[in-house]
Structure 1
Amino acid sequence: MLKLVVFDLDGTLADTLADLANAVNYALARQHLPTYPVDDYRHFVGNGIDNLIRVTMADAYTPEGAVRAKADFQTYYADHCTDCTVAYDGIETLLDRLDTDHTATAVISNKPDRFVPEILSALYPRHTFLSAWGQRDEFPRKPSPESLEALIERNGYQKSETLYVGDSNVDVVFAHNAGVKVCGVSWGFRGAKELREAGADFIVNSAEELYRLVNG
């Protein structure tokens, strides 16, 4: 029986793509570098901000430039992280139903930690997550399993009663590295094909399907 559902954030609970793209494009433009269409960011995000800056700077990457770009990203994103960000269909109802069932929920994201609670409180103000972690200095980023293992242990759960839910191959590897089953969501940034090829234990196409899986 599942007692804990841990979610990824970007592409799983929230469509954050436009705000992420706008913030990175702002940082790139500040250094007179080319910017990208929003849809291109589907394949850039998921591995943390440092990797996102590195990939988008491309051949113009330098450590010094990356530091400036990261600072510009964070300054812009702090003011605009919920401008275009929206909840995916059915997720609020899903969280309400899991609350009613006394199924605990948590979040682990590669997004900088400071932005995670702000986005969750904007989109899901009446829901309380057991824990909501972004990228923290105490843990290496996903797909290292340390953050997921720590969250499960600190809250007194077992891996066998935990499900991780995400939208990318990084999420699949992350959960499997921790010895936890993973459900991929097809509505996210990467789609079902990537999740299937990465070896997701389950793939769902709607919040309703995810609820039935948790209660299956």
Structure 2
Amino acid sequence: MTFKGIFFDLDGTLINSIDDIADSVNIALKDNGFPIHGREKYFKFVGNGMKKLVERALPLDVPKETILAVYEQVKTEYSKRWNKKTAPYPKIDNLLKELQRKNIIIGILSNKPHDFTEQVVKHYFSEFDFAFVQGAEEPFPHKPDPKLALHIVKKLKLYSQEIIYVGDSDVDMQTAVNANFYPVGVSWGFRSKEELWENGAKFVVDDPMEILALLDK
């Protein structure tokens, strides 16, 4: 079947946002008397949404009320600095331009809170005509649960088999497998190639433009 659409993860796939995320969480941790973490730790903390990120950054025995308080502060801190150090990865703009030239449907499906997802995409990718930009939002569960992905496919009147899903983590590959999309991993993101293959990737790229080869099959 010919691919008609490519859905992308956001953080670690289209943008390198790890420093702004780490800075936001570390400020909240420090303000609340908890140890902070080095940048490398955050590559493993991210992926399952902002609340889970906060839970992973906090000690194990922290009460739920404290987790929620720190989570709210992290959102506030991130709203101040989401674009301080974040930038699109090289050649992402070139890829998106070529996909639009080929009339491929493009969209973004992220576990980042929906309001931040929209804000970030509008700032960095305003020239592109995405069919949808979707972050984590009630009542849908986070990825890798496929409910939101399948809801979007239905709205676009597409079939799952017509979709490539591109991401940088186990969560993204699991999402693609669960939704019956074609799973494509990227090596420039927050996780290893091994993790991508182990979680169902059928193709792993080192350069964004390599994704175009899938459209010619």
TM-score range for the pair, normalised by the shorter chain length: over 0.9
**Aligned counterpart, 1:180:** 181
State the distance in 2 between where 1:146 and 1:96 align. Answer: 29
* Structure-2-length-normalised TM-score: 0.97
User: Does the CA contact (< 8 Å) of 2:186 and 2:205 recur in 1?
Assistant: yes
Letter matched to residue 131 of structure 1: F
State the distance in 1 between where 2:214 and 2:191 align. Answer: 21
**Aligned counterpart, 2:94:** 93
Cα shift at 1:60: 4.4
User: Does the CA contact (< 8 Å) of 2:48 and 2:143 recur in 1?
Assistant: yes
Q: Secondary structure at the match of 1:59?
A: coil
Letter matched to residue 66 of structure 1: I
Cα shift at 1:92: 0.3
**Aligned counterpart, 1:206:** 207
Matching of residues 70-149 of structure 1 within 5 Å: 70-149=71-150
State the distance in 1 between where 2:40 and 2:122 align. Answer: 26
CA RMSD, 1 decimal: 1.0
State the distance in 2 between where 1:60 and 1:22 align. Answer: 23
* Percent of aligned pairs sharing the same letter: 32
User: Does the CA contact (< 8 Å) of 1:166 and 1:185 recur in 2?
Assistant: yes
Letter matched to residue 43 of structure 1: K
Letter matched to residue 149 of structure 2: L
State the distance in 1 between where 2:11 and 2:59 align. Answer: 23
State the distance in 2 between where 1:177 and 1:153 align. Answer: 15
State the distance in 2 between where 1:207 and 1:49 align. Answer: 26
Q: Deviations over 1:92-137 (max 9, x none)?
A: 0100011110001001111011101111122112112111111000
Q: Deviations over 1:137-160 (max 9, x none)?
A: 021001100011011110111111
**Aligned counterpart, 1:13:** 14
Letter matched to residue 161 of structure 1: E
Cα shift at 1:59: 2.7
State the distance in 1 between where 2:159 and 2:81 align. Answer: 37
**Aligned counterpart, 1:34:** 35
Cα shift at 1:29: 1.1
Q: Secondary structure at the match of 1:110?
A: strand
Letter matched to residue 138 of structure 1: P
State the distance in 1 between where 2:215 and 2:12 align. Answer: 19
State the distance in 2 between where 1:68 and 1:26 align. Answer: 13
User: Does the CA contact (< 8 Å) of 1:204 and 1:210 recur in 2?
Assistant: yes
User: Does the CA contact (< 8 Å) of 1:2 and 1:215 recur in 2?
Assistant: no
User: Does the CA contact (< 8 Å) of 2:177 and 2:200 recur in 1?
Assistant: no
Q: Secondary structure at the match of 1:82?
A: coil
Cα shift at 1:196: 1.2
Q: Deviations over 1:71-108 (max 9, x none)?
A: 10111111211111110111001000111100010011
